[in-house]
Amino acid sequence: MSFKNAFDSGKFVVTAEVGPPKGTDIKEMLHHAEMLKGKLDAVNVTDNQSAVMRICSMAICKLLLDMGLEPILQMTCRDRNRIGLQSDLLGASVLGIKNVLCMTGDHPNAGDHKEAKPVYDVESVQLLGIVNSLNNGKDMMGNEMKGSTNFFQGAVVTPEANPVEPQLMKFEKKVKTGAKFFQTQAIYDIEKFKEFVKFARKFPVKILAGIVLLKSAGMANYMNKFVPGIRVPQDLIDEIKAAGKEGALDAGIKIAARHIKQLKDEKICDGVHIMAIGAEDKVPAIMERAGLL
Amino acid sequence: MIITAKRDLQELMENIKNYKSFFLIGCSECASLCATGGEPELKAMKETLDAEGKKITGSFVAKTGCQVLGTKVELKPFKDAIAEADCILVMSCGAGTQTAVELYEDKPVYPTNDTLFLGNMTRLQMFDERCSLCGKCILDKTGGICPVTACPKGLLNGPCGGTNEGKCEVSPDIECAWVRIYNRMKRINKLEDMREIAKPKDWSAHKKPMKLNIREKKEEAKK
Ligand code: SF4
Ligand code: SF4
């Protein structure tokens, strides 16, 4: 079943992330992908995440496709101008990649090539519009194309951004320019998340809650301090602390599974996007405990 | 004004190591206010080069170093001193440096400064970049705050996910341009305008090298 059909079927959709490595040794990544095969509705392949140079998302999407997984091509506006983006979208389309996640992308300053020229010729809202026009047989300049794309396109949103109003205005713009699904920044406070969903439900889009696996109390504190738009409540940090060093990862898995189960049981959103960041092999365990396998 | 900063002295010395005598050109406008090319800086440069055993044949602070014709006239009395120098050092911006290149075709010309940005002077010797000369101004749509310049990603449709309590993900020293625009729009009762979707920017409005000939335009209008 395609990613889009999974939403349409009304099932609780589950996606996870695969990060292409730096270098050509893809054994470990393929091993993770193999573990996820048959369990997920789609696999999100990051695009030079955190502005750290790695294998391009498109190549890995194609490999996953050949393995029988359903890839989502992440596309940032950091490294390619409008010609490059459109050309890559057409390329992805002929390779059989059906889903694309449009984002602005972390600034090169965050990564390992700080001297790079940031491109941002267009940005996420505009990229969604571009996908829309390619889907309708025209490039962004209105030139007719021989054959159109047929992408199912999505975007990201940070429900806990502060201030949140401009973020929600941008969310609406993304809906208007064609986003069909949204993947959120990591959420840890389900009650607060419900407020966002109440707003988002006014629009005909699918919402995947971002679930980032907490691997230690230190990681939670770090994110609270340094990652914009992520807020791990103190009681969760205490829960991980109480589990001790040995039990921290397990406590993190338990929390993730508990949140997923609640989101599903209470039908709060349409699914989840699990980001295990370096512990991709734990995704099946999270799903199992959430009652998804 | 054009903001400049002194280049690393070692780098400059490396550039000019094969020359013995120099003529210095400063600028009384931006470079003076940036303390990179006014009288005191020219004096300090003379002392530095003296100490390195180099000879200064003369020096002059041009009124407006980016004005080619005016600078040419101003420098006429220094013809001999310039002829005597192995090399010209320009202590203004990249534009001023290239004025000298145009005027002295046979003479090596080196910049002593790096040219940084078009800046507003907020206090004495404090400068902020507010406009990056994009060629098609959108301040009318953004409450008068320029996201092309103030947002490190130049975003046109609102804040990215990295916006953080009013700060930018790139550095806590940067105020998020889009939170500033949001606050400003709210204040001037224009928040609804922020819902308008900005189209991709027309970068052909700034095709390098830019040129403007007002004279030609006037003459055309007369015809
Ligand atoms: S929109 Fe362009 S011209 Fe206007 S202030 Fe910004 S950079 Fe300058
Ligand atoms: S945080 Fe604000 S200023 Fe910084 S890149 Fe994002 S939108 Fe631009």
Angstrom CA distances, A60 to A6, A16, B111, stand at: 22, 14, 47
Check if B152 contacts A (Cβ < 8 Å): yes
- To the nearest whole angstrom, how far is the Cα of B91 from the nearest Cα of chain A? 26
Task: Please write the tens of the pLDDT for every residue from B52-71.
Answer: 999 999 999 999 999 999 99
What is the predicted pLDDT for the residue at A223? 95
Residue ranges of chain A whose pLDDT lies below 50? none
Helix axes A244-265, A234-242, angle to 10 degrees: 130
End-to-end CA distance of chain B: 35
Instruction: Please judge whether A167 and B154 are an interchain contact, meaning their C-beta atoms are less than 8 angstroms apart.
Output: no
Among all bound ligands, the one having the nearest atom to the CA of B177 is 2
> Do residue B60 and residue B165 come from a single domain?
no
Residue ranges of chain B whose pLDDT lies below 70? none
Task: Give the Cα separation of B175 and B168 in Å (integer).
Answer: 6
B15 is a domain residue = yes
Last residue of a domain, one of B66, B86, B117: B117
Residue A40: half-sphere exposure toward Cβ, Cα within 13 Å: 29
Q: Are A140 and A82 in contact (CB under 8 A)?
A: yes
Cα A292 to averaged position of ligand 2 atoms, centre (Å) = 37
Chain A residue whose CA is closest to B160: A104
What is the predicted pLDDT for the residue at B119? 98
> Do residue B104 and residue B50 come from a single domain?
yes
Looking at the structure of chain B, the number of domains it has is 2
> Do residue B17 and residue B104 come from a single domain?
yes
> Do residue B94 and residue B190 come from a single domain?
no
Cα A107 to averaged position of ligand 2 atoms, centre (Å) = 9
What is the predicted pLDDT for the residue at B68? 98
Q: Indicate if ligand 1 lies below 6 Å from the C-beta of B179.
A: no
Task: Give the Cα separation of A181 and A83 in Å (integer).
Answer: 25
- To the nearest whole angstrom, how far is the Cα of A155 from the nearest Cα of chain B? 11
Helix axes A57-67, A82-94, angle to 10 degrees: 10
B222 is a domain residue = no
* ipTM entry: 0.94
B46: domain CATH number is 3.40.50.2300
Amino acid at B181: I
> Do residue B151 and residue B79 come from a single domain?
no
Q: What is the 3-state secondary structure (H, E, C) of A11-70?
A: CCEEEEEECCCCCCCCHHHHHHHHHHCCCCCEEEECCCHHHCCCCCHHHHHHHHHHHCCC
> Tokens at residue B128, please?
């902020």
Check if B145 contacts A (Cβ < 8 Å): no
Q: Indicate if ligand 1 lies below 6 Å from the C-beta of B21.
A: no
> Do residue B96 and residue B200 come from a single domain?
no
Order of all β-strands in the sheet with B87-90: B55-62, B21-27, B87-90, B109-111
Amino acid at A76: T
What is the predicted pLDDT for the residue at B210? 95
What is the predicted pLDDT for the residue at A224? 95
B218 is a domain residue = no
B49 is a domain residue = yes
Cα B130 to averaged position of ligand 1 atoms, centre (Å) = 8
> Do residue B108 and residue B11 come from a single domain?
yes
Task: Give the Cα separation of A215 and A248 in Å (integer).
Answer: 6
- Give the residue ranges of DSSP H helices in A136-207: 165-176, 190-200
B110 is a domain residue = yes
What is the predicted pLDDT for the residue at B10? 94
Residue nearest to atom 8 of ligand 1 (CA): B131
- In this structure, is the dihedral angle defined by the CA atoms of residues B111, B114, B117 and B120, taken in order, positive or negative? negative
Give the percent of chain A with pLDDT over 70: 100
Task: Give the Cα separation of A184 and A158 in Å (integer).
Answer: 6
Domain that holds residue B147: 132-206
Task: Give the Cα separation of A228 and B136 in Å (integer).
Answer: 32
What is the predicted pLDDT for the residue at A278? 85
Task: Give the Cα separation of B182 and B173 in Å (integer).
Answer: 19
Whose tokens are 């600034």? That residue is A107
Total H helices, total E strands in chain A = 11, 8
pTM: 0.95
- Name the phi and psi angles at B41, rounded to 5: -70, -35
Task: Please write the tens of the pLDDT for every residue from A6-16.
Answer: 999 999 999 99
Among all bound ligands, the one having the nearest atom to the CA of B182 is 2
Which helix (H) or strand (E) is A102 found in, with range? strand A99-103
A3-286: which CATH topology?
TIM Barrel (3.20.20)
Task: Please write the tens of the pLDDT for every residue from A185-204.
Answer: 999 999 999 999 999 999 99
B216 is a domain residue = no
Q: Which residues of chain B have a CB within 8 Å of the CB of A170?
A: 157-159
| Cβ count near B173 (within 10 Å) | 7
> Do residue B172 and residue B89 come from a single domain?
no
What is the predicted pLDDT for the residue at A190? 97
Angstrom CA distances, A124 to A176, A189, B185, stand at: 12, 26, 22
Amino acid at A197: V
